[in-house]
Chain A
Amino acid sequence: MTAYLLKRLAISVVTLALASMVVFAVLEILPGDPARLMLGMNASADQVELLRNQMGLNAPLVWRYLHWAGGLLNLDLGRSYTYSVPVIDLVRERLAVSLPLALIALALSTIIAIPIGLFSASRRGRAGDTIAMGAAQLGVAVPNFWFALMLIYVFAVWLRLVPAGGFSGWGAGVWQALKSLLLPAVALALPQAAILARVTRSALIEVLNEDYIRTARAKGLPYRTVLWRHALRNAMIPVLTILGLQFAFLLAGTIIIENVFYLPGLGRLVFQAITQRDLIVVESVVMLLVAAVIAVNLIVDLSYAVVDPRLRSRQ
């Protein structure tokens, strides 16, 4: 078990290091000079050169990478070119919106998907299954920003239950803040839940055909008990895999959803940074997202071992 854990951890660290190189390299190759952009079109070449030296942009590539990566480890992400404040402050402020949003969405999609998967698998081929899977098909096909618009129309405009957009900040009360995050989280969660429900269903159907399900039935356990106690845990491995992969899409989805709901989150930050060539902010946020995805996948790998004893003893 310890060997499994250490191996997974080592793989995560290497992946993170490689990802940081790729992120750095890609932004180096992209056209656009941040110094020129900050000073405007009227600045002279000398002024631009001076600023480039100040910002360290003329140093050798490897040195700049090491400087940047070292800064990341110390949570020193540099200063934003456009806002002229430390990037870490920007990120921290925006993370207070995006992280709860992503977590609520992830929790919602799991809570919606797994019962639907169980329901459909236990009624395979019957009307309930067909309807549930039809709905899931729709959920996969419809983009999340359209869901967002429909939700705004129904719950904000028509029923006036929640605000249509914007975020008052956590200072103004937790309930108020959660209310602003609810619709965006639902919009993010629905397409993910649809995919997850389909995966849960097919994983369960496969498990339900296994011999040990028959053994459990022969013990006298009712079908539903067998479904929960024996089938679900064995079906968890593919479900966890998809859950881990979905987290990356969830983060990407926040960029669109935060724009639809005018939420001051990381997604909006990175979107604005890209249009303003604020490369240092883009780099930092992208690295943060990469780290988040790698961390989630590490958790998924470890939860495999919790679910399946065969992975614990095989080293």
Chain B
Amino acid sequence: MSLLDIENLSLTIGNTQILKDVGLSVAPGEVMGLVGESGSGKSMTALTVMRLLPYAARATGRVTFDGIDILTATEGQMCALRGDDIGMVFQEPMTALNPVKTIGEQVAEGIRWHTRATRAAAEERARQMLDRVGLPSAKFPLSRYPHELSGGQRQRVVIAIACALKPKLLIADEPTTALDVVLQAQILDLLRDLVAENRMGLLLISHDLAVVTEMADRITILRRGEVMEAGDTVRTLSEQLHPYTRQLAQASMHVPARPRSHGANPGNPLLQVESVTRDYPGRRTSLFRRAPAIRAVDDVSLSITPGQSVALVGRSGCGKSTLARMILALDKPSSGTIRFRGETVTGKSEADLKPARRDMQVVFQDPYGSFDPRQKVEKLVAEPLHVLDKKPTRAELREMVAHALHEVGLDQRDMDKYPHEFSGGQRQRLSIARAIITRPKLVVADEPVSALDVSIRAQILDLFAELNQKLGIAYLFITHDLTVARAITDEVLIMHEGKIVERGKTSEVLGHPQSEAARALVMAAPDLHRAIAKRMQEQG
């Protein structure tokens, strides 16, 4: 007998059809993986079960949880279910907690509400739950506020809130997407243990096939609001009978073709970073005293030759973005030098930096946040051109923008559109067009594909590879995702707590990691092949 049964669920918001005849079920103690790309309706399915849909949404069909018809239940019945029998964990741990309430208050609140327990009793249970999710009382007293915790710790608090009353069903909507791979593995372990302890049903929503394969007993693949394929996880993914399943699986393991690999050629290096250190002043503990400085980057040296593609891999907070900012001359090292094409960039004036800026561009992670929504593409893509010595005429400028758009696979007519008219993948193409318009020798890309769906991600990786081959652009990819490093880089640097702890050829380092930090990253990284093999072994 199923715990949750969804039959013929259709959902419209206004005139837009979001879900069409969706069906799935979750049994007690079972993990159901719901997979799909962004906009496929995964989150809306979850919110329907919680009955937390937007005001204008209209749902038809049947959703039964534990014998209760969810779609016709009263709001009072739903309030009794939410947080008690059904818990939910969300994607973004940084914003999921109320900033003005302590973690103790937030975990205890649901317990008090549902059990009518006294404040002391509820706090006692909250304490136990926080211990259970790995936040021991010595370091994490109930009086901590969310801003004093890291992303991974906050996600543990959210899980504690959702599981405080031992729900029969837990809905986890992309619970690890915003976390680095090591944290992801820890959170997934925690969820797996909670399922086993309480025979809880888990509806795990993810765009990451490898994550779902590791976790789920059964899988439902959603596309544009419709179920494409459903069934046993291992069988579905090993047989890949449905073309869309095959497409997703292939995209998530995609390795772009790069026939000409640029090893470390002995010529002049393009970029040289020599024993660079960056200290941040410590927090002021009183009017006259400061805590000791925090060393974000510690004695890092590296070099990149023309056309080489290098990955800088590390967990969040390891100092990789700080290093990138110093390479881009957006921040100054506390000590050490950075040379670009043999010339020192540290300590130069903005005017003297112009030639270096022209040859060094950047692509950021978030294709939504990195454009001014009120400017047209022409202006956005042309932005870096102010570093040219001679100001181009309007016609020349349009010509250059058109060329750059063409190179990233967009139409030159897109020039007169605004950023909101593009999808996430197209916007990342715009970021790349903006980066290559000055014909740079080096592009620094900070998590350039981690916000994208697998199929879009494969296309963008192809584009990076193509531009590397065609224009000989060198890359520094900053990422916590080993599949990206594996797919597109020649060399990899593993960074841990401000230091480079391991370096070498990408295939060697990722195949046979030597340092503990590198091993942790490789072990934690979800990999579809490995996950399927492991699951098949488990099932015999």
Contacts and interface: CB of A to CB of B under 8 A. Distances in A.
A211 B92 contact: yes
A244 to B, nearest CB: 19
Interface residues of B, number: 37
Interface stretch (B73-81, B339-347, B425-433): B73-81
Contacts of A307: 100
Nearest to B286: A3
Interface in A273-314: 307-310, 313
A115 to B, nearest CB: 21
A211 B79 contact: no
A234 B146 CA distance: 14
Contacts of A313: 145, 147-148
Interface stretch (A40-48, A57-65, A213-221): A213-221
Interface in B435-464: none
A222 B162 CA distance: 16
Given A220-B83, A221-B79, A315-B283, A215 B100 contact: no
Interface stretch (B108-116, B195-203, B260-268): B108-116
Given A211-B92, A218-B162, A309 B83 contact: no
Interface in B138-169: 145, 147-148, 158, 161-162
A214 B92 CA distance: 12
B100 A218 contact: no
Contact of A309 (B50, B99, B110): B99
Contacts of B97: 212, 215
Interface in B49-83: 50, 52, 75-76, 79-83
Nearest to A207: B98
B95 A210 contact: yes
A293 to B, nearest CB: 27
A313 B148 CA distance: 9
B47 to A, nearest CB: 9
Interface residues of A toward B: which range? 20 to 34
Nearest to B110: A219
B109 A221 contact: yes
Contacts of A309: 99-100, 102, 145, 147
A220 B114 contact: yes
Interface string A149-160: 000000000000
Nearest to B92: A211
A222 to B, nearest CB: 5
Interface of A: 3, 6, 210-212, 214-222, 225, 229-230, 233-234, 307-310, 313, 315
Given A214-B52, A221-B110, 6 more contacts: A3-B286, A212-B96, A212-B99, A219-B110, A225-B113, A233-B100
List the 10 closest A-B pairs by CB distance, nearest first: A220-B83, A219-B110, A219-B83, A220-B82, A211-B95, A218-B88, A212-B98, A309-B145, A211-B96, A220-B79
Interface of B: 50, 52, 75-76, 79-84, 87-88, 90, 92, 95-102, 106, 109-110, 113-114, 145, 147-148, 158, 161-162, 283-284, 286-287
